[in-house]
């Protein structure tokens, strides 16, 4: 059995406003990943600045924080083997125009600054981001009844 990983995924304010919550979550459910934690909130500027701290010197950083704070987001933790890398592949490139057909960002959005969804880019950043957005007791430990049909 492959080692399980966790990744942090957030549906951004444009994804909420455009009614894409169900479709994006469905993609991960159908893949077979396990939902570990989820909440609906309007994230504070402080949290968003920390979340995107690696980009603090980029010109688009203030606009990025403002956009992410402009409405509610759905913050989630998903689990699976190599879930971090697989989710990045499922989401597509940062810029929807560079993404392959079948990826979320290619199929559901147009511009890099309105790309509807976030996914951690490494196991290390997933750990950091999950720690920012969730308390450890908010991560729910349960066995999916589909587990033995997804894994051999
Ligand atoms: P990703 O979200 O694919 O990990 P990133 O971490 O490089 O991409 O950047 C975070 C977000 O910032 C990205 O989802 C959209 C926004 N962004 C990135 N590059 C941008 C740019 N050149 N102009 C505007 N927004 C940008
Ligand atoms: Mg990133």
Centre of ligand 2 to C-alpha 75, Å, is 15
Distance 150 CA to ligand 2 centre (A): 29
Using the mean position of ligand 1's atoms as its centre, give its distance from the Cα of residue 150 in Å: 33
Q: What is the pLDDT of residues 37-85, one digit of tens each?
A: 999 999 999 999 999 999 999 999 999 999 999 999 999 999 999 999 9
- 110-149: pLDDT as tens digits: 999 999 999 999 999 999 999 999 999 999 999 999 999 9
Instruction: Give dist(CA 49, CA 68) in Å, integer.
Output: 10
| 118 is known as an active-site residue | yes
Dist CA 92 CA 87 (whole Å): 9
Q: Rounded to two decimals, what is the model's pTM?
A: 0.97
Residue nearest to atom 14 of ligand 1 (CA): 94
For residue 94, is pLDDT > 90?
A: yes
Calculate mean pLDDT across residues 17-43: 97
Ligand 1 residue neighbourhood (C-beta within 6 Å): 55, 60, 64, 94, 112-113, 115, 118, 121
């Amino acid at each position: 059995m492959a080692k399980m990983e966790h990744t942090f995924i957030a549906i951004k304010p444009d994804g909420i406003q455009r009614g894409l919550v169900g479709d994006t979550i469905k993609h991960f459910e159908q893949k077979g990943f396990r939902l570990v934690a989820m909440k609906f909130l309007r994230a504070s500027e402080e949290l968003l600045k920390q979340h995107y701290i690696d980009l603090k010197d980029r010109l688009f950083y203030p606009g990025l924080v403002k956009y992410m704070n402009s409405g509610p987001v759905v913050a989630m933790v998903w689990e699976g083997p190599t879930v971090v890398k697989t989710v990045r592949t499922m989401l597509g490139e940062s810029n929807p125009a560079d993404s392959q057909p079948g990826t979320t960002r290619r199929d559901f959005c147009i511009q890099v600054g309105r790309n509807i969804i976030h996914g951690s880019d490494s196991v290390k950043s997933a750990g950091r981001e999950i720690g920012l957005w969730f308390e450890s007791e908010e991560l729910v430990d349960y066995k999916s009844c589909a587990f033995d049909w997804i894994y051999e």
